[in-house]
Structure 1
């Protein structure tokens, strides 16, 4: 019983402000800012509050090599983009590689481990690939599968919904089931680009059959550094044979 408080304690950091500090800047916003050198001869009197707009690229005093090597800068020189719209479409969450420990209270309080890949984007669309594997050390529990998620709102939104479609296999000491995995995922992002988020997923394996199993998964993620994150998973299995549960503490590497 001492393992439960310990695992929950390790997962509590999501309640605090992200350790990485301020929310990560949008990739679109930061990438779209050109490196422009200030030329005193092209500005007004320093005591004035405004600066003249450049009439041509040459008035920006840019190195031609810099322009040739920067597609983003070339875009800015041709036409100033709608940065606000780009931020809305720039993903508020990131692709993550996961590795961690699991605890199975309903399976003789066994420990275990898990590995997975979350939200690998397919191009610049809302479609992502996901896969995971989890098992207990005593061999009584095993689960694995792969899914597609399609986020229906712009990727930069702080609240998003994604239908889940894929394949999943579940094995316990009392039952084994596999087949279609169908569900819905709700994602809340209080701090952008992986700094902190909360997700709730309700799904079913082999829906509409005698082997149907319902899965409810609640996850909290909290950034420790720009690339490293701590995540806590709480999952409930609802099968006709019995109800099972799993608690996981996972380290995630963000791309």
Structure 2
């Protein structure tokens, strides 16, 4: 296996960013035999996967392999597309998210999402962060002020914007906008953060900031990230799942997947021989 990945895991260990010990981790999500269809096309085939609590799980694979579809299954964002259907179960803390009694607003509060392209609202930095709590009925100004400071600190943005909270979020740099979107997601007190290629459009410095942030956030949140960047998956994740043509080829601890994969197809993809 490539020396590059060995060096990444050695560096993670030396800098205190080694993978979490998941031997006794609670399963936050349990995906069980899920098939998923868009109108006229099956996108996922018999997917079973466990996502441990307070870990970073990376979905990797070539474009169109189903990894973003599965990410959106986890908070039922695909329900917004007419004609989709699924079979199988997705359990969050042991309860099926597709059960009739599930409140979708509450599910999407618990399972927040950060998209590939930063999408701040055309409002102030402050109003972006408090948007979700305001929609939920929070009106207490002291509470909102507290949330803004807490979430901007959690997203490593507070020191950069604390003196201009009431200026337009659209004036921020791309990396700052993405961290603001993370802060906005955190303001609703989620338990899980879904990140769909959150650094793909960013420069290397901003990418490093997002990766450092992911490592810090997993102390309090479960994070699932879709990435095409193999080095990024190796740097930030505890568990990696490799998808190909809608099927889960292999999943396991990231270091094992990148250094001792059990499937030749996984090794070929990670080393760049196809994909």
* Same fold per superposition (TM over 0.5): no
Q: Which structure: greater strand fraction? A: 1
TM-score band w.r.t. shorter chain: under 0.3
- How high is the TM-score relative to the length of structure 2? 0.24
Larger RCO: 1 or 2 (CA < 8 Å, sep 6+): 2
Determine which structure has more spread, i.e. the larger CA radius of gyration. 1
Q: Which structure: greater helix fraction? A: 2
